[in-house]
Structure 1
Amino acid sequence: MNDSQAVASGPIEALSIVIADYQDPQHRADLLALLQEYALDPCGGGEPLPEICQRELLDRLAAFPGAFSILAYRDGQALGLVNCFMGFSTFMCKPLVNIHDVTVSEAARGLGVCTLMFEKVVEVARERDCCKITLEVLEKNHPARAAYRKCGFKPYALDEEYGQAEFWQRYL
């Protein structure tokens, strides 16, 4: 075991959490398979990953500064994935980690995989002197919201008078 691995006991025996190596053929295959499973889920959009993503995603992640991914394994089988990107908080003048994708295979949900992957993200964030970890979650994805709250996340608001922040987008 190296620095990028942790083995957990408890509900999932022999669970290992690793920082993905974007050049490792097994990590590449597992990351794409888990992301495809997530994309096909209604909470991931319900459609397959575009062909360009299937062809180029891993190389682009490897080349993107501040990208890192966490994979969860049990007995060599990939069970979970968290894709993260470094950002910066201007109000705290420190880096942050944004969790962009979170998925746990359906058969492994409710077993603590997400919690263990998030613990690894926290470890990486602390090593990089980050001030916080951010993520987005769909309003009606109640299982994910419960898992994230269990891991210490809560809705973001600078001032309660102005309400919670919302995640918006504009396609280009």
Structure 2
Amino acid sequence: MSEHIVLAQLENPQHQQDLLMLLNAYAVDPMGGNEGLSDYTKKNLIEAMKHNPQVFSLLCYVDDKPAAICNCVIGFSTFKAKPLLNIHDMAVLPEYRGRGLSHKLLARAEQEARERGCCKLTLEVLNGNEIAKASYLKFGFTGYELDPQLGLAEFWEKAL
């Protein structure tokens, strides 16, 4: 069994197809919201990513078949005055889980972050996703808090 991770080349039709397939598989998973990507997203995501140099995808292949994805967004830490790397989506297809692919993707994301001068990695994880939380803890992530008396930071949103 061979595994390899590539930085998705958004001009490559195979990478485009694999990125959309892997992201849609994540979207239909309970941890991704149980709803596939919209037709709009399927039609526009690749072009939108091509025009945003702060966004990139890592694709993991097992025996040359797409198995996992890590979508990343470069952000900025005002407290550190440096970029940060947010792991926006992390997903492994069910048939490839338990092989350590997420840690391999995280390691590659960390390598990319270091090469880009980032001060930290960030990500969001559902409170009930115990498997992912255990994996992230094992990799070195922790909950974010400035003061234990104020508690952990929470990820909130307002849809527009």
TM over 0.5: yes
SS in 2 for 1:160: coil
Task: State the partner residue of 2:101.
Answer: 113
Which whole-Å deviations, capped at 9, do the CAs of 1:71-113 have from their partners, x for residues lacking one?
0001110100000000000001110001100000001111100
Unpaired segments of 5 or more residues in structure 1?
A: 1-12
Tell me the TM-score normalized by structure 1.
0.91
SS in 2 for 1:164: coil
* Number of residue pairs the alignment of both structures matches: 160
- Taking the TM superposition and a 5 Å limit, the aligned residue runs for 1:17-166 are 17-166=5-154
Distance 1:158 1:68 in 2: 29
Runs of 4+ aligned residues of structure 1 deviating over 3 Å after TM superposition are: none
One-letter amino acid of the structure 2 residue matched with residue 46 of structure 1: N
Distance 1:42 1:21 in 2: 28
Q: What is the aligned-residue RMSD (CA, Å)? A: 0.7
Q: Percent identity?
A: 45
SS in 1 for 2:61: strand
Distance 1:150 1:106 in 2: 20
Distance 2:58 2:139 in 1: 16
SS in 2 for 1:82: strand
